[in-house]
A and B are shown apart, each in its own frame.
Chain A
Amino acid sequence: MNETPWATPRDGLESPQIRVQALSVRYGDHAVLDRIDLSVAAGEVVVLLGASGSGKTTLLRAIAGFTAPTGGRIALGATDVTRAPPYARGLGLVVQNYALFPHLRVADNVAFGLRARKLPRAQIERTVARFLEMTGMAAYAQRYPRELSGGQQQRVAIARALAIEPPALLLDEPLSALDAPLRAEMLEELRRLHAQLPNTAIVYVTHDQTEAIAIGHRIVLLHQGRIVADGAPRHLHDAPPNRYTAEFFGQANLLPARILDTPPGADGARGYVAVRIADRTIWARRSADAPASGEVLLCVRPHDLRLDADPAAVSEGNRLDGVVRSSQWLGASQRAVVDIGPATVRVDRPASAPLPAAGARVQVTFAAERAVLLADR
């Protein structure tokens, strides 16, 4: 898993760069955003992740000042900007289709915000040169946008937004118009840029979880206008706080389970909880908001499951009996779908393992620390 091995934000949560409090946006009866609370520290990269229509763009546009909230407050630094027009907010904005000004050359596009501020000519030239250099577009300063490729246009759009040296950069699906290799390159580029501007906060909207993991210090998962999860990518992946997060984020297997009141053995002492699934006792971690008893969901990732071809083998730790329904070789890995009584699970294995035959009886095993219990809602 990705450890976000790059600069983490300096601790600035007492005076966050962006603070959104109880923000609501409704159109008629339809609440597009429902009492959103969000703080972004200086230098922090927060990814707004969510399915189509979950309200990501609306939240970003409310922060930028293009969508008037029906409730709540937005503050930038110490200033309340809830009613301030976009031009007074000083935030950098990058949109999906770049929106470069077609009648202006690259250098003039980048200079746009500086000219709006009526800065001295020499200073504008210096700043434009600096940001064109930083984005690798210095050689294209005299070109018109239509003479650039999509990736180059996006670099110019980013340089233009950064040139006003905003406290925060807002990006709405900035890479979705690019093809996969270019997207990976641009993500790397964005991380490098951010390393050079360590105090600039970034709010990055995407519906792509690989992108989210690659760039986010923190991921905020939106679902139907509400925040359903907020945390470091690794944390959301390994300990999803709820069912929606587990399913959206990394296609987890979710098995209905029931917490045992009197767990056998001493595992309980190590912080594990015993549950019953298909007549087997399974040990798992308990997430913060899972109930202490009753029905829960066991969440375990496909690549944390093992298959044992010998159904009679006595293996250490958790095991479930299953029947292979299908299996498929996928190049780098293989995936098996296994029936285990109350549910089916997906199992990802190395490509080199023998492909199990459909109908074969197997044991599905997994470590207790890779399984987490969630509230069933």
Chain B
Amino acid sequence: MRAPRGLWRPVVIAVPFAVLGVVFLYPLALLAAEAFANPGGGYGLGTFAAILAGPAFHDALLATLRIALTATAVCLLLGSALALLVRFVAFRGARTLARMVDVYLAFPSFLVALSLTFLYGNSGFVRSLWLSTFGFAAAPAARSFLYGFWGVVLAEVTYYTPFVMRPLLAALEVIDRSQLEVASSLGERPWGVLRRVLIPELVPALIAGGSLCLLLTMNEFGIILVMGVKNVITLPMMIYGKAIDEFDYPAASAVAICNVALSLALYFAYRQALERMPQ
């Protein structure tokens, strides 16, 4: 294709920016305007001050970070173990499994939440099996663990582990097997080879996968909504509650701005980390 010239050039450049402005920046600006508008007129930090002062925001922020960090840590451990398994333990279907990871990334997250509900929910498969085997008296607590902190973590780990595996598998693909062999000929046992060669060389991939995972779990909404978790209020859930249940749009916008700021901060930290890598 020929590069556009003359008069067309500014137009061709302007169109994508215009579209970006209309569909993305303008709504964002409206959101910011809502958040920074004072109830009495004019602009200020009144809404923010009110939100930040209350315990609700504090609790939501804490819940968000706890869930995101826990899920990311578990994803990193599980994802690394699975990626190493797929790469180094020859078993039938290892390649297929690696390819399925890609397909899995295309699924919507709430599907996972839904399927977990069928499995472990209050009227799910596991509970029915339990009831039909041991009777009602022996049944565990009325509400499944699924509707609490660990339920959300389980769902997020189930969904986001492939996001960690993807960059790890790519990085493992380019690590030369002879490096591992040389390390072992130099007297390093398998565990030492993992610790001194493999993991250091995987650090960029771990950072990439881990930060993506952290970013996505911090903003996760679909999973929690579909699971119907009532007592776990994260920032996205708080925004939803303020906007849909309480019609408090300024408060919802203010929380949303905080959420965006958190995500951006994380993103830049991730870029910094990658730039400091020796490679």
Q: Could you list which residues of chain A lie within 8 angstroms of chain B, going by C-beta atoms?
A: 64-66, 85-87, 89-93, 95, 97, 99-104, 112-113, 115-117, 144, 146, 157, 160-161, 164
The main secondary structure of chain B at its interface with chain A is helix
In contact, A90 and B182 (Cβ under 8 angstroms): no
Closest to A113 in B: B186
Contact B178 A164 (CB under 8 A): no
Q: How far is the CB of B214 from chain A (nearest CB, A)?
A: 23
Q: Is the CB of A93 within 8 A of B187?
A: no
**CB pair B178 A99 closer than 8 Å:** yes
Q: Mark B99-124, 1 if CB is under 8 A from A, else 0.
A: 00000000000000000000000000
Residue contact A116 to B192, C-beta cutoff 8 Å: yes
Provide the residues of chain B in CB contact with A100, threshold 8 Å.
Answer: 179
Q: Top 4 A-B pairs ranked by shortest CB distance?
A: A113-B186, A93-B185, A116-B187, A99-B178
State how many angstroms separate the Cβ of A73 from the closest Cβ of chain B.
20
| Residues on the A chain within 8 Å of B185, using CB | 64-65, 86-87, 89, 91-93, 161
**Once the chains are docked, how many angstroms separate the CA of A372 from the CA of B146?**
86
Q: Which residues of chain A have C-beta atoms less than 8 A from B182's C-beta?
A: 93, 95, 99, 157, 160-161
CB–CB A101/B186 < 8 A: no
Who on chain B is nearest to A93 by CB?
B185
Report chain A residues within 8 Å CB of B179.
99-101
User: What is the interface residue range for chain B against chain A?
Assistant: 20 to 34
Q: Are A102 and B181 in contact (CB under 8 A)?
A: no
**List of A residues within 8 angstroms of B192 by Cβ:** 116
Cα of A270 to Cα of B111 in the assembled complex, Å: 93
Among residues of B, the one whose C-beta sits closest to the C-beta of A95 is: B178
- Bound complex: CA of A27 vs CA of B269, how far in Å? 51
B187 to chain A: which residues have CB within 8 Å?
87, 90, 113, 116-117, 164
A95-B178, A99-B182, A112-B183 known; A87 and B189 CB under 8 Å? yes
A-B CB contact pairs (8 Å), 14 listed: A87-B188, A90-B187, A92-B185, A99-B176, A101-B197, A102-B201, A102-B279, A103-B201, A103-B203, A103-B279, A104-B200, A112-B186, A113-B186, A116-B196
Contacts of A64 in B (CB 8 A): 181, 185
**Interface SS majority for chain A:** loop
Asked if A164 and B184 sit within 8 Å, CB to CB, the answer is no
B278 interface contact, C-beta 8 A: yes
Q: Which chain A residue lies CB-closest to B199?
A: A103
Q: How far is the CB of B278 from chain A (nearest CB, A)?
A: 6
Q: A64-B185, A93-B186, A112-B186 are in contact. List 11 more A-B contacts (CB 8 A).
A: A66-B181, A85-B189, A99-B178, A99-B181, A101-B200, A103-B200, A113-B186, A116-B186, A157-B182, A160-B186, A161-B185
What residues of chain B lie closer than 8 Å to A117, measured between beta carbons? 187
User: Among the listed A91, A102, A112, which residue makes an inter-chain contact with B188, where contact means beta carbons less than 8 Å apart?
Assistant: A112
Among the interface residues B185, B188, B278, B279, which one has the most CB atoms of the partner chain A within 10 A?
B185
Q: Which of chain B's residues have a CB closer than 8 A to the CB of A144?
A: 278
A86-B181 contact, Cβ under 8 Å, with A116-B188, A144-B278: yes
A82 to B201, CA, bound (A): 31
Q: Min CB distance, A250 to chain B, in Å?
A: 32
**CB within 8 Å of A: which B265-279 residues:** 278-279
The winner among A85, A92, A103 for most chain B CB atoms within 10 A is: A103
Task: Tell me the complex Cα distance, A306–B166, Å.
Answer: 68
Q: Which of B50-70 contact A (CB under 8 A)?
A: none
For window 159-207 of B, CB contacts with A under 8 Å fall at 176, 178-179, 181-189, 192, 196-197, 200-201, 203
Residues of B within 8 A of A95 (CB): 178, 181-182
Task: Known contacts A93-B181, A99-B176, A103-B201; decide if A112 and B196 are in contact (CB<8 Å).
Answer: yes
In angstroms, Cα B181 to Cα A146, docked, is 20
Docked pose: A161 CA to B187 CA in angstroms: 11
Nearest CB of A to B181, in Å: 6
Query: Closest A-chain residue to B192, C-beta based?
Result: A116
Cα A90 to Cα B197 in complex, Å, equals: 18
Closest-by-CB residue of B relative to A92 is B185
A65: B residues at CB distance < 8 A = 185
Among B176, B187, B192, B196, the one with the most A-chain Cβ atoms within 10 Å of its Cβ is B187
Chain A residues closer than 8 Å to B189, beta-carbon distance: 85, 87
Q: Could you tell me the distance in whole angstroms from the C-beta of B202 to the nearest C-beta in chain A?
A: 10
CB atoms of A97 and B176 under 8 A apart? yes
Contacts of A89 on B, CB cut-off 8 Å? 185
User: In the complex, which residues of chain A have a beta carbon less than 8 angstroms from the beta carbon of B188?
Assistant: 87, 112-113, 116
Interface residue ranges of B186-235 to A (CB < 8 Å) = 186-189, 192, 196-197, 200-201, 203
Minimum distance in angstroms from B187 CB to a CB of chain A: 4
**Minimum distance in angstroms from A304 CB to a CB of chain B:** 42
Taken together as a complex, chains A and B put the C-alpha atoms of A191 and B185 apart, in Å, by 23
User: Which residues on A sit within 8 Å (CB–CB) of B201?
Assistant: 101-103
Output the nearest chain A residue to B183 by Cβ-Cβ distance. A112
Q: Which residues of B contact A164 (CB under 8 A)?
A: 186-187
Q: Is the CB of B184 within 8 A of A87?
A: yes
In angstroms, Cα B187 to Cα A92, docked, is 10
CB proximity of A27 to chain B, nearest CB, Å: 14
Q: Which residues of A contact B181 (CB under 8 A)?
A: 64, 66, 86, 93, 95, 99
